[in-house]
Amino acid sequence: MSVPTTPDPHRTPDPAADTRLGGRTALVTGAASGIGRACALRLAAAGARVRALDRDSAGLGTLAGEAAGLPGTVEPHVLDLTDLDAAEAAAAGADILVNNAGLQLVRPIEEFPPETFGTVLTVMLQAPFRLIRGALPHMYAQGWGRIVNISSVHGLRASPYKSAYVAAKHGLEGLSKVAALEGAAHGVTSNCVCPGYVRTPLVERQIADQAAAHGIPADRVTEQVLLADSAVKRLVEPEEVADAVLYLCHPSASFVTGTSLIMDGGWTAH
């Protein structure tokens, strides 16, 4: 079976047409790569002042160059999110918070290093909690805020060999709902975006581990593992995820809260 590599050719995004985030400050974590990079560029294209947070300073430098000429701005902020106090402080004053930074290790539970389990939970669940905590006072004071948590189909379904990732994403789904309930009276929405497999370095890096864990050749992983449950037989593009994030930040999404925008190619329809 051949695996299509391009998104819908009829998709014609026009970034220049939408600058509704002018005057807004957006904090995007994990902005140096993949989905975070696409979100930072998409929100800056919509006019936002983007604080691009990542531990990868070189990647942030590249991103800042890519953002030149957009209606908004991208300001690099180098930080390792395992420093939870610094993470909370970094979120102060943000109108929009995109909790995106993440990492993956594919390994059976009995071989899964406990310290890596802890790091995954710290970066992908504790840090989002601290970032939300840091962002809420400003959002509540002005009566407006948008929290977008990049969850995953693995926030809703499990796959073998991903104990830490699935646990963190399921936790993030719960955290997002609580933030929605508490924030509603203050004009703050909180939602998750749940993509299937996205064409990013995080996916490319797990091909070898998936091949080893499933006992199949690496060139069969995309078809036999990643896309096995997806009705749409291609990877999602980071820009498609960024479009969903932008939608959740729009005025037209003010009644959308406490939910998950699933873009999994039909995986969870099974």
Ligand X SMILES: NC(=O)c1ccc[n+]([C@@H]2O[C@H](COP(=O)([O-])OP(=O)(O)OC[C@H]3O[C@@H](n4cnc5c(N)ncnc54)[C@H](O)[C@@H]3O)[C@@H](O)[C@H]2O)c1
Binding residues (CB under 6 A) for ligand X: these are 30, 32-36, 54-56, 59, 80-82, 100-103, 123, 150, 152, 195, 197-198, 200-203
Q: Any residues with CB less than 8 A from the CB of 179 and at least 6 apart, and which?
A: 132, 136, 147, 188, 190
Instruction: Rank residues 100 and 210 by Cβ distance to ligand X and give the closer one.
Output: 100
Q: Are 51 and 26 in contact (CB under 8 A)?
A: yes
Q: How far apart are CA 190 and CA 183, in angstroms?
A: 8
- How far apart are CB 115 and ligand X at their closest, in Å? 13
Q: How far apart are CA 263 and CA 240, in angstroms?
A: 9
Q: Please report which residue ranges of the chain form alpha helices under DSSP H.
A: 34-45, 57-66, 84-90, 114-121, 127-142, 163-183, 201-214, 221, 238-249
Instruction: Rank residues 74 and 254 by Cβ distance to ligand X and give the closer one.
Output: 74
- How far apart are CB 249 and ligand X at their closest, in Å? 17
Question: In this chain, which residue has its C-beta nearest to ligand X?
Answer: 34
Instruction: Rank residues 78 and 184 by Cβ distance to ligand X and give the closer one.
Output: 78
Instruction: Rank residues 61 and 201 by Cβ distance to ligand X and give the closer one.
Output: 201
Positions marked active-site: 165
b/e map 108-130, b = 16+ CB within 10 Å: eeeebeeeebebbbbbbbbbbbb
Going from the C-alpha of 194 to that of each of 52, 63, 149, 172, 218, the distances in angstroms are: 21, 24, 9, 11, 25
Q: How far apart are CA 222 and CA 198, in angstroms?
A: 11
Instruction: Rank residues 59 and 72 by Cβ distance to ligand X and give the closer one.
Output: 59
Q: Are 32 and 100 in contact (CB under 8 A)?
A: no
- How far apart are CB 119 and ligand X at their closest, in Å? 7
- How far apart are CB 79 and ligand X at their closest, in Å? 6
- How far apart are CB 80 and ligand X at their closest, in Å? 4
